[in-house]
Amino acid sequence: MKLTKSAGLRGELSIPGDKSISHRAVMFGSLAKGTTHISNFLSGADCLSTIDCFRKMGVLIEQNGTNVTVHGNGLHGLKAPSETLDVGNSGTTTRLISGILAGQDFETVLSGDASLNKRPMGRIIKPLEQMGAKITSVNGNGCAPLKIEGTKLNATHYDSPVASAQVKSCVLLAGLYADGKTSVTEPALSRNHTELMLRSFGVKVESHDTTATITPPEEMIATDIVVPGDISSATFFIVAGLITPNSCIRLKNVGINPTRDGILRVCKDMGADVTLENVIDNGGEPTADIVVKTSKLKGTVIGGEVIPTLIDEIPVIALLAAFAEGETVIKDAAELKVKESDRIALTVDNLVKMGVDATATDDGMIIKGGNPLHGASINCKYDHRIAMTFSIAGINAEGETVIEDSECVDVSYPTFYEQLNSLQ
């Protein structure tokens, strides 16, 4: 993909469905009794990997664009797949499904693409083993492929060393099959879509501070899910609207769950012109239209408990900081090193390539704003969020920017370039 400087972005966009919520809707619908209709499903490669895995375990799932119908098999109705489950690039599929598979009465093998098979799975192997699960890293390196021999599980309490919704969800989903209440405490609250959605499927889940506790149900009951727009996807256009001169963009129907809305807090701290309209409280998963206008920005410090609420947005927040006056410090974000790529290194390297004064640290980065950007050839290492971040950089740089392997945006945002063009 080739990009050049934009004269301004104007118009409105319907942001595609939330990736985290789309995964969970398919998983929980598959385990429920009855039919779950999902609307505004994210038809990105990651969520399609989740559909594929459950189809291979005998669940009838019909997809018509953003409408998905899941004919659930019930909590104990999954069938042994006849082949390895292909989780593609999706960490969420891998870590959440492992919790479910640990409690089945059959064996499975999970494997993904080159990037996925390098990501740490010890973080789920440890708590699952604490519950009595039989799960092994086939190559002995703590990564996928994973072999999971389903078995009876013991209830447990797990103190997670990382604020990770994937770890928390894995343990809670294994808890569906445990012999009593299972709880997870995390160092800071990560996204709570699992807790909220399990409740709407009739499961008792209690949340106190950073501890979530699940009581294993007899069955899960199907329900319909309307997926809000993904704030992580919307953030590319929030940043684009703020840094591109002469811009005004309305992003419609975006999920603003407080465990995901850190970007809005950062925008406020940086002095950005961002307003929320049509705020609707959909029972735990509120949505709003987000209106952004070109803004004069100032640097800020981002760290501590806000980090899990904006973890996927940090690469594009770093770009935002490059357009702010003064210094922005991002800290407490070492988790970025184990995402689809090492996002600290890759974000900083590519920013520097485009002329930004950026330095990587052990747990984040420091960006001094104000340098003009120049076009560059960007290697995104097949990381969708890096490709989108540097596409937005490209429309704010002198000269041409080329994003290599830009098709990787399909992982979370297949219509990204189409929507970007519609605003020019």
Per the annotation, where are the binding residues for 3-phosphoshikimate? 19-20, 24, 164, 166, 312, 339
Q: Using an 8 Å Cβ cutoff, are 373 and 322 in contact?
A: yes
Nearer to ligand S3P (CB atom), residue 19 or residue 250: 19
Q: To the nearest whole angstrom, how small is the minimum distance from the Cβ of residue 21 to ligand S3P?
A: 8
Catalytic site residue 312?
Answer: yes
20 binds ligand S3P (CB under 6 A): yes
The size of the interface with ligand S3P (CB under 6 A), counted in residues, is 11
The annotated binding site is made up of 19-20, 24, 91, 119, 164, 166, 312, 339, 343, 385
x/- binding map, residues 276-295, to ligand S3P, per CB under 6 A?
A: --------------------
Strand segments (E) across 170-307: 182-185, 204-208, 211-215, 220-221, 225-226, 248-255, 273-280, 287-293, 297-298, 301-302
* Residue whose CB is nearest to ligand S3P in the complex, by number: 20
222 binds ligand S3P (CB under 6 A): no
Distance CA 260, CA 233 (A): 12
- Going from the C-alpha of 233 to that of each of 22, 255, 273, 349, the distances in angstroms are 13, 10, 19, 22
Q: Using an 8 Å Cβ cutoff, are 329 and 304 in contact?
A: no
Nearer to ligand S3P (CB atom), residue 20 or residue 341: 20
Q: To the nearest whole angstrom, how small is the minimum distance from the Cβ of residue 22 to ligand S3P?
A: 9
Choosing from 312, 313, 383, 410, the residue that interacts with ligand S3P (CB under 6 A) is 312
Largest CA distance in the chain: 62
Nearer to ligand S3P (CB atom), residue 291 or residue 333: 333
**404, containing H or E segment:** strand 401-404
Check 261, 312, 383, 410 and give the catalytic one: 312
Choosing from 36, 73, 92, 379, the residue that interacts with ligand S3P (CB under 6 A) is 92
Q: To the nearest whole angstrom, how small is the minimum distance from the Cβ of residue 172 to ligand S3P?
A: 11
Q: Using an 8 Å Cβ cutoff, are 196 and 183 in contact?
A: no
CB atoms within 10 A of CB 43: 20
For the four alpha carbons of 236, 239, 242 and 244, in that order, the dihedral sign comes to: negative
Which 159-198 residues touch ligand S3P, going by CB under 6 A?
A: 164-166, 169, 190-191
The residues of the shown chain that bind ligand S3P, judged by CB under 6 A, are 20, 92, 164-166, 169, 190-191, 311-312, 335
Q: Name the residues annotated as catalytic.
A: 312
